[in-house]
Structure 1
Amino acid sequence: MNKIFKKSGRKIAKKISLFSKKVNEDGREHIKENLIGHISHIKNVRLYIVEWLLMVSVVILLSIAQAYWYLNTFAVETYTSGGTYTEATLGKINSFNPLFTSTSSEETLSRLLFATLSATDYSGHTGLGLAESIHANDTGDVWTVKLRKNLKWSDGEPITNKDILYTIKTIQSPRIKTNFASKLVGVTAAENEQGEIVFTLTSPNAFFESSLDLPILPSHVLGDVAPELLLENKFSSRPVTSGAFTVNATQNIGNEGEKIVYLTANPKYYKNKPLLDSFSIHAFLNLTDIKNAVKNGTVTATADLPSKFATEVSSSNVNEYQSSVNYGVFAFFNTESNLLKDKALRQAIRLGLNLNNLRTGLSGELPLDYPILESQIESITFPSIPKTDVTTAKAEIEKLKAANSALTTEKIKIITIKGDNYLEEFANRIASQLESLGLGATVSVYDSNQDFRLNILRPRAYDLLIYEIGLGPDPDVIAYYHSLEASENGHNLSNYKNSVVNDLLLSARSNMDAGLRAAKYQKFLERWVDDVPAIGLYQTTLPYFVNRNVRAFSQENRLVTSTDRFVDIENWATKKTVKNRTP
């Protein structure tokens, strides 16, 4: 058996050997025939080979280029969370308590640190803040406010109706003077069974919602503090907050009052935590230092530098935005002045003043002809104002001088305040034009301080006042033109008294029908134009100088006050990243 297996194995091995030899010979023949034999033909097809190689190279390069284009086409540089933002502001910071703000620096901090019940929205109208809803009864003398759910103070305590009631009571206390007391005169507040706050007014007010733009204080921190001791309380330097930021630290610069306040994003902010990690307020004492800080890039932005500094801070890294705000500059006639009590003279002065010449040199500010802005009211036709006619004005003034010898012997006393806007310049221009009309005029310029308010504004110690006033979000001008406000404590700077106007303004405020309300304001404006208690000069703008590499407030937002720029503070950013969009 073994011999048979051995014999069979030798036969198989011999066949494998012969097969391998044949394959080897066939392989060599194939290589010789199909490769070596064709080498001599390469020179005949070399052009095709080069073309083929070039084509492959082009395809590879195009693929690489396409991939690069794809990445860049769908890669977007966008702002992300993180970073810090520094604003330069003007004026000392004496307290963080929002009820006692008196400088631009303190007002800015108040908006960043404290949320309000109602708030100006993106359109420049009154919207909701901490309140989930605000609605009135049919007559407008009862307003009901419901808070949002799950509101928190920065220390984690809940924001409740108790905080609202405490704040209202504190603002109304006769033991202190706050910036909000005038909004709550004759108002009572109480909690109803549904857990809402009910405000009851002594008279209807269609605009009461805007009066609720009030910063709320924490009752669990201040509830046991006497109102007159609030400024002395530690809360004034280490507050518990409800706004977008909380106070982290403060740094005094020198001994004169310059200070930096370092803020940290508040994760409990009702609009969500801001993108910015931190925000700093550098409170300067003068505009020159603010200008230098912006120019040198030591601050991110400022809202306190007038437009006239634009050329001095101009650089490739700084943008200037101009946003109108609801403030207006007027020439207020003292209608009880011995010289200007005659309506005919006020009409003649308006006829003779060349407003186009007066407004020469304005930088972004808008002409302002009326005490109500078009953005504040709809469905109204503003009455026409007589066009400038110097010849007719001079003739009328000469007639009036003959009837009132004081117009010949005395000069019209024009008063305004110092500052870096156009007030003093307008006062001097008006004085010059009055003299060209045949009326004598003097200009006095005062510091805007307590002495000015006590000795000039309250007694109305002027014939003509060039002054800026806030117009608010609503067309309600009772404070400036109702007879009851023509007092030392009132804001009727013209001492204007007209019983028909009183009725029109009160009726407009108390009317809940927008159409009927507009009709009342239409008639008021007609009276205002005829009686000439004031002449509109220009609407104020907010010049905002900002580093061009950051994102601040949207230029599409309509601002009522300068601090309304913070309406979208949660979206401000300084840090960028690259992200791919989905194609």
Structure 2
Amino acid sequence: MSKAEPSSDQKPPKKRRQWRAFQRKPLAKSQLATRARKVESSTLRHAHRFVLKRLNSLRLARRHIIAWSIVVSVVLLGIGAQLFLYADTYTELAPARGGTYAEGAVGIIDNLNPIYASSGAEVAASRLMFSSLYSYDSTGKLIPDLAKSIKRSKDGDAYTVVLRDNAKWHDGADVTAEDVVFTIATIKDPEARARASLQVNWRDIKVEQLDDLTVRFSLPPYAAFAHALTFPVLPKHILQSVAPGALQENSFSTAPIGSGPFEFRLLQTSDSVANRKVVHMRANTNYYGGAPRLDRFELYGYESSDDVVLALKARALSGAVEVPRSVIPELGDAYTVQQHPVDNGVYVLLNNANPLLKDVKMRQIIQRIIDTEQVRADVGGGVRELHLPFIGEHIASGGLPAAPQVNRAKAAKLLDNAKWKRSAPDGVRKRSGKEELALKITTTKNPQYERAANSIAEQLREAGFAIDVVVLDDKQPNSNFIGNVLQQRDYDMLVYELPIGADPDVYAYWHSSQLGMTGYNFANYSNATADAALSSARDRADQKLRDSKYVTFAKQWLSDAPAIGLYQQSIIYVHRPSAHTMPSDAVFVSATDRYADVTNWTVESEEVYKTP
């Protein structure tokens, strides 16, 4: 059978596309070399065009860059040198906010209730944490504090004080007139046992509340009454339930609530053996006088100025008060030193009740012997002359008597005329060959007072007196200097510091009504002319008339010589150079007036640009 033919309806099979295999064509060596040369030539042209020319441009640019870099560097160095050399022209050091100021003060800290504050450290703590109706600014001027205004009645027997309405206690309660009335009532209450210097100001004064912010004081006419309004105000809402007799021992005395620029945080014992304590305070951000720039204030109480000096040398303090002048060189450049006079006078009081000193002629003899300029030099210098019973600058009208002149030749002649003859071999003067011209000089333990006492003793010994110097440590708890010595007037001559204040009213020290154990007439001085002048000056509102009365009193006082003014006291304050404290020209009535601008104190400084 033959093969079958395909039918007409069947498609013929597709033919597969066939690719020819890639065939390598042979390449002659001459052609390869030619092509290589072409590639090389093209590459060189490309490199020359895009690389070598740009490298040349880069070298040229590099020279310009280096040149400009040098120019810019020189300019920058010049600007830097100018800023370094003339930085003071553009910048200045300014106080920086924040930080902790640590201050050292002399005195044990046992009681933080201000009506019991006795040591310098306790009084300082009171000033920082409590407010007064009035206070002194950094110029020594009396200005309102808690008070907004004061009005004196026509006859001078009443003062009406209006309080500011934005003062608050540290617990947030409002300060009101009730607090003022409560404070004075507490001070006057004998069971409360407030310190005597506060009590004496309020014995004959009546206080009443007129409304929430108004108080009226009724009293015998007293021109200087406004100066008595610097007492610290206590919070009635905290203490009204405490019996007056239990107030001193109350917990408030170790954890007080005040209204001042700093509020209490902690009373810490840093040395139990030395009874050294630290009061930790923080800024009162709600203080009506403006929040302090410091965050915290730490007040360290030291037993003596020697302990303060040791702390300063250890760089443990930002600042300190009552630093002895003799140690200032030892502190080097670590602290800035400021000295400010205060309205206190250091006197040698002559006990007019003493058998020898009750004779005005003997007191005048001593007045002619003692060279107060020599005393001031012996205590270390740097203190002002004070020959009056008050601060002379407080009498604006002038006319004050001059200081007595030293005249030892005349003093010797007067002693001879009084039958006080020198005896051999000690040279001590005796009367009738038996009775020695002997006196005792008493003072308290204080380097400055001791030098003053020894200087006076040496001068009197040269004149033929037999002198003993007795130094009492009034800081010891069992010494009772006030009760056993001061109130008993147990001394012949006493080197003592009297707080005088910003007004010439020294009635408390020299009027005969202040004789006796409870009075402050420590010289036992009595003179009718002096009494009349002091009493009259208190009643007069006219300043010129008051001044004339005090001039009369000063003349009589110098003639009677119940005491001899040695010098006006001053305080030496040191602080770190970076700290900002009181102005260098500040005037203080008392040492705690250094806090007049404490809200502006800072512990560090920062550099700021000056503003035009």
Indicate which of 443, 449, 469 corresponds to 1:443: 469
Judging changes above 3 Å, is the alpha-carbon distance between structure 1 residues 151 and 386 closer, same or farther for their aligned structure 2 residues? Answer: closer
1:463 corresponds in structure 2 to 492
1:15 corresponds in structure 2 to none
Name the SS for the 1:205 alignment partner: coil
Indicate which of 95, 99, 103 corresponds to 2:119: 103
Output the amino acid matched with 2:530: V
Q: What aligned pairs does 1:201-240 form with structure 2 within 5 A after superposition?
A: 201=219, 203-240=220-257
CA contact (8 A) 1:324 1:539 kept: yes
**2: CA distance between counterparts of 1:194 and 1:111?**
24
Question: How much identity, in percent, do the aligned residues show?
Answer: 32
Q: How far 1:227 moved relative to its partner?
A: 1.1
Q: How far 1:275 moved relative to its partner?
A: 0.3
CA contact (8 A) 1:116 1:129 kept: yes
**2: CA distance between counterparts of 1:185 and 1:198?**
16
**1: CA distance between counterparts of 2:547 and 2:606?**
49
Note if 1:558 corresponds to 2:594. no
1:75 corresponds in structure 2 to 91
Output the amino acid matched with 2:356: L
Q: What aligned pairs does 1:366-445 form with structure 2 within 5 A after superposition?
A: 366-401=384-419, 405=431, 409-445=435-471
Task: Tell me which protein shows more helix as a share of its residues.
Answer: 1
2:512 corresponds in structure 1 to 483
Judging changes above 3 Å, is the alpha-carbon distance between structure 1 residues 63 and 395 closer, same or farther for their aligned structure 2 residues? Answer: same
CA contact (8 A) 2:445 2:471 kept: no
Judging changes above 3 Å, is the alpha-carbon distance between structure 1 residues 356 and 236 closer, same or farther for their aligned structure 2 residues? Answer: closer
2:136 corresponds in structure 1 to 120
Note if 1:516 corresponds to 2:545. yes
Q: Deviations over 1:164-188 (max 9, x none)?
A: 1111111111212213111111111
Q: Deviations over 1:107-150 (max 9, x none)?
A: 11101110111101222132211111123223322111111121
Task: Tell me the matched-pair count.
Answer: 535
1:329 corresponds in structure 2 to 346
Name the SS for the 2:208 alignment partner: strand
The TM-score, its normalising length taken from structure 1, stands at 0.86
2:316 corresponds in structure 1 to 298
Q: What aligned pairs does 1:213-362 form with structure 2 within 5 A after superposition?
A: 213-256=230-273, 257-312=275-330, 314-361=331-378, 362=380
Q: How far 1:277 moved relative to its partner?
A: 0.3
2:146 corresponds in structure 1 to 130
CA contact (8 A) 1:261 1:281 kept: yes
Name the SS for the 1:564 alignment partner: helix
CA contact (8 A) 2:276 2:301 kept: yes
**1: CA distance between counterparts of 2:129 and 2:445?**
28
In angstroms, what is the RMSD of aligned CA positions? 2.7
Q: How far 1:64 moved relative to its partner?
A: 7.8
Output the amino acid matched with 1:447: D
Name the SS for the 2:201 alignment partner: helix
Note if 1:535 corresponds to 2:535. no
Judging changes above 3 Å, is the alpha-carbon distance between structure 1 residues 233 and 211 closer, same or farther for their aligned structure 2 residues? Answer: same
Indicate which of 178, 193, 198 corresponds to 2:216: 198
Output the amino acid matched with 1:573: T
Q: How far 1:353 moved relative to its partner?
A: 2.4
Note if 1:139 corresponds to 2:155. yes
Q: What aligned pairs does 1:55-66 form with structure 2 within 5 A after superposition?
A: 62=75, 65=78
Q: How far 1:512 moved relative to its partner?
A: 0.3
Output the amino acid matched with 2:606: T
Output the amino acid matched with 2:291: K
**1: CA distance between counterparts of 2:433 and 2:529?**
29
Q: Deviations over 1:269-310 (max 9, x none)?
A: 121110000011122233333211101111111113322222
Name the SS for the 2:105 alignment partner: strand
Q: How far 1:103 moved relative to its partner?
A: 1.5
| Structure 2: runs of 5+ lacking an equivalent | 1-52, 422-429
Output the amino acid matched with 1:173: D
CA contact (8 A) 1:78 1:578 kept: yes
Q: How far 1:231 moved relative to its partner?
A: 2.2
Name the SS for the 1:212 alignment partner: helix
Name the SS for the 2:469 alignment partner: strand
Indicate which of 157, 162, 168 corresponds to 2:178: 162
**1: CA distance between counterparts of 2:349 and 2:102?**
38
Judging changes above 3 Å, is the alpha-carbon distance between structure 1 residues 406 and 271 closer, same or farther for their aligned structure 2 residues? Answer: farther
**1: CA distance between counterparts of 2:432 and 2:399?**
38
Note if 1:182 corresponds to 2:200. yes
**2: CA distance between counterparts of 1:356 and 1:402?**
27
Output the amino acid matched with 1:507: S
